[in-house]
Structures are given as C-alpha cells and as structure tokens.
Structure 1
C-alpha cells in the first residue's frame, strides 16, 4: 500500500527528452550556463561549468593558462558548441544556434588576437562593425551624413576615446589603441552582453588605466564577462568572479572573496601571496 507521502507528492516534471525539467529561468538572468562541457577527443577542456550572469552584471572568469577560459567563451559564442550542457541567453536556449544568430540576439565578443582591418581607418572599422549588425547591412548605397550608421559610428568613436584618431590607419595605432578599437567594434549595435577575451594583454600601465576607465564607462544595463590574467584589472571592474582550474569551476564569489581565498591564491596567484 502506498504511503501518504508518496500519494501526496506529484511526479517530477520531465522535459520532452525524458530528462528532469529545469526550473524556470529568472527574467533577470542575461546568461545561464548549466553543466557546460566541451571535449576534444579524450580531452575535457571545459568540464561541467555552471554559473549565471544577471542583466547588467559585470563578471570575470579567471584562471591560469590552460584552465579552459577561452574554450568556455567559444562554447558560449558557438565557435565550438558545447558537447554537453545548455546555454540560455535572456531566457532563450541558444545552445544549438550558429554564431551569427547569437550575434543577432545581442551577444558579442572580442578575441585574444585583435581582428581588425589594418589598412582601413579607425572610423571605417567602426562603421563596418555598425553596418554588420544593422538591418541594411547588404545595401550598396553610399551612406549620407545623417545616416543612422554614421551617427552610431561617431558615438562609438567618442565612447572609445578614439575620436582624435578617426582618420588614422589602424596599422599606425599603438597596441592599446587597437584593443580600444576592438572593444568599440564589439559594442556596435547596442549588444546586451559582451565577452571580453583578455583585453589587457600586452598593454602598458597607461593603456591599462585607459582600459579600466573604458570598461567602467559602459552602460549600467549592459552585461559583460571578462577573461583576464591581470587580477588587478579584473577585480576593479566586475561584481562577480568565477575562477576555473583544469577546465572546472574552482570558486565563485565577490572580488573580495576571490582575492582572499586561500585555494585561489595557491593555485592561481602563486607566489604573489
């Protein structure tokens, strides 16, 4: 005879494929990773990573070389889709979507190595980025002075502090200025979340200060996730941090909690502490 408890308890909800149904996603979540895994043959580059980024939250993913950070970004953007787990973007499951569809939904990223049109000007690079996500991106008509894309390009020049270099060829820019330009291109089309892959790599101290000012000036409603080796930069511009080690999540917490965590210090920061 069934117990009272078994009679009163409803059966567990199941998804269409028979797996336990996931609880409803919070409307405030910009990005939710659930058990994200990426394998390359026998190598598990990312292993069962789960965390969420709220709308407007500034987030960092830290870890030493080989921790799986960039592979995780590639899974989120669809460059190398996860082999297991799910990715939700503002409540929508984007796990199976191609990269260009994720871009159209407001997801952007930068790369460790700058991907710029070196023989074009700063203005031209930003304009192409703006047109690339605009509805009229395939138009062959020369834009007029009042064109919305021209206006958006001017706004990006001001936001990235590159207006004084608008007509300069990208090949002539300093490394830090090229990184600023790449960030500006990622901001084209009012993205909802941007993934920054080591934006401080190779920057001088002065350029790093400029980067911090740029990241702090981003709109409050815009979320971003930052991969960064420079702990001082990362902890100054984010609200929440996940530390990865050997493809797995080691710790998640506030910048202060991460900085004071003994295991993080031993594995990630080493002799600095």
Structure 2
C-alpha cells in the first residue's frame, strides 16, 4: 500500500511513524514499523497477542521511547516528547487498566477530565452551572450514552458502563486524535453494539486508532486496517479488503484467536 506524504512533514498526516523499532534487551517487540494516518481517519490495528500492538501504542503516546525511528503528530516531531506534551497537542488514549475515580459521580469524573486538560487545571472553586466545561462534560456524557446515569457513583456502574466512561474521559478537552486500547474487552454483545454506535458517531474531525481483539467491532468502526504479526506490519488496506483477505483469515482464525 502506498503511504501518502512520505518524507514530507507538512503532508497533512495526523500521525506518522517512520521506521519505529522498540527493543527490550535483545528482543524487538516491534521492528521498522512505518504507518500514516490522516486527520479524521479511523484505523484499526489488528493482530494476535504478542504482535506488537500495545508496544506500538506506547511509542505513540510517549510511554515508551522507540529504540529507533520517528513519530510525528500533525507534522511535528514528537519522538522524544513525554506523554503530557503529546496530550497538550491533542493526543488521548484509553487504558485497559481503569483510570476512573470510583468514589465520584460519572459527571464529576468527566468534568475533572475536562478541567485537567483546560488551562486553569483543577480549580477548587465550585463551578457555575453555565460554565463551558460543565456543558462540555454534559455533551461527552451524552455522547457515550450515560446521561441517565450521570449522577451515579462510578463504583456502582456496570463494567460496560465504566468502559463507556473511559471513552468519555479520552474525549475530554477536544482531542485531535485518540488511541483506543481494546475498548470492547469484557463487554457483552449488546454493550459491544453500543460501543460501535458510540465510536461511529464521534465528530468526523477526530481520527483514531483502535486496537481490538474483536475483529467485528474493529472492522465496523474503522475505515482502514493495519494488520500486525510478530512485531511488523503484515498487511494494510480498507476494512472490507482486509476482512475478505485469505491470509488475514488464516492468521486470525488459524492463530488461536477464538479463545480470547
């Protein structure tokens, strides 16, 4: 697949990886990964456990610094930036490990996330109800289908609703690009269908990468797919091409995928 804008920082990609390699001792978790995602594009990264998907995410967020290669975010070289500098530029991620305040309400969690990424960080003054951040939080709660539960304590929510809340937190502060780390993990079929609706109805300008074990969820929310295998890119294409590709099916269905 031809990568647009190779070697041109102003090529208009939201995210550009060039030759990313990450070594752990003598082991390469990912090798020479080159990838471009346009603004507003929705990309799924698929592959079995150990394919390198999570390591790739950690290099994009700055949780890991790559051993070699380049990461650009909207044309800017962010390869060695710490995570908070990338967040400031509009990159967000969800974590598989819950990052929620269970003793606070849904609304308070989202409001605090909105405060945290706005300029006046965690001011303890009680907000006025017309506060723009309160309105932003209300909209996010609605976007992830939690309006009916907005005053409930997070610790009382069902697991699936907590995962929906994690999506809302990742969307706080008007991000330009979001990394979703297995958002469907542990969800029931009904909750998965709800998640697909939430992700497909995000504002068109927000691009994202979704790592997902559930190939069906991934293919329904993404325009394009990058398939990883043994730390390298194995195949890329449109969702419908990848779904019908015999090599992908062999790798996915023959590779012990069903047990997860």
TM-score normalised according to structure 1 size: 0.89
The aligned counterpart of 1:49 is 33
The aligned counterpart of 1:118 is 102
Q: Deviations over 1:233-253 (max 9, x none)?
A: 111111110000111110011
Listed as ranges, the matches of 1:144-163 within 5 Å are 144-163=128-147
Q: Deviations over 1:185-233 (max 9, x none)?
A: 0000110000000000000011001000000110111100000011111
Shift, 1:26, TM fit: 4.5
Is 2:83 the partner of 1:99?
yes
Shift, 1:27, TM fit: 3.8
Moved more, 143-152 or 57-66: 143-152
Shift, 1:57, TM fit: 0.4
Listed as ranges, the matches of 1:122-133 within 5 Å are 122-133=106-117
- Structure 1 gaps of 5+ residues are 1-21
2:188 to 204, 215, 218: 204
Q: Count residues in correspondence.
A: 252
2:42 to 58, 65, 76: 58
> Relative to structure 1, is the Cα distance of residues 126 and 138 closer, same or farther in structure 2, using a 3 angstrom cutoff?
closer
Provide the C-alpha distance between the structure 2 equivalents of 1:23 and 1:84, rounded to a whole number of angstroms.
16
Tell whether the 8 Å contact from 2:9 to 2:76 is kept in structure 1 after alignment: no
Provide the C-alpha distance between the structure 1 equivalents of 2:58 and 2:211, rounded to a whole number of angstroms.
12
- Structure 2 gaps of 5+ residues are 1-5
Shift, 1:61, TM fit: 0.3
The aligned counterpart of 1:216 is 200
Where 1:249 maps in the other structure, the secondary structure is: strand
The aligned counterpart of 1:3 is none
The aligned counterpart of 2:221 is 237
CA RMSD of aligned residues (A): 1.5
Query: Runs (4+) of structure 1 moved beyond 3 Å?
Result: none
The aligned counterpart of 1:75 is 59
TM-score normalised according to structure 2 size: 0.93
Is 2:24 the partner of 1:40?
yes
Shift, 1:138, TM fit: 4.2
Provide the C-alpha distance between the structure 2 equivalents of 1:138 and 1:183, rounded to a whole number of angstroms.
21
Q: Deviations over 1:82-126 (max 9, x none)?
A: 111000001000001110000000000001222111111101110
Tell whether the 8 Å contact from 2:112 to 2:122 is kept in structure 1 after alignment: no
Provide the C-alpha distance between the structure 2 equivalents of 1:138 and 1:204, rounded to a whole number of angstroms.
35
Tell whether the 8 Å contact from 2:110 to 2:140 is kept in structure 1 after alignment: yes
The aligned counterpart of 2:149 is 165
Where 2:60 maps in the other structure, the secondary structure is: helix
Where 1:29 maps in the other structure, the secondary structure is: coil
The aligned counterpart of 1:137 is 121
The aligned counterpart of 2:241 is 257
Shift, 1:81, TM fit: 1.4
Is 2:250 the partner of 1:266?
yes
Shift, 1:139, TM fit: 2.6
Moved more, 52-61 or 147-156: 147-156
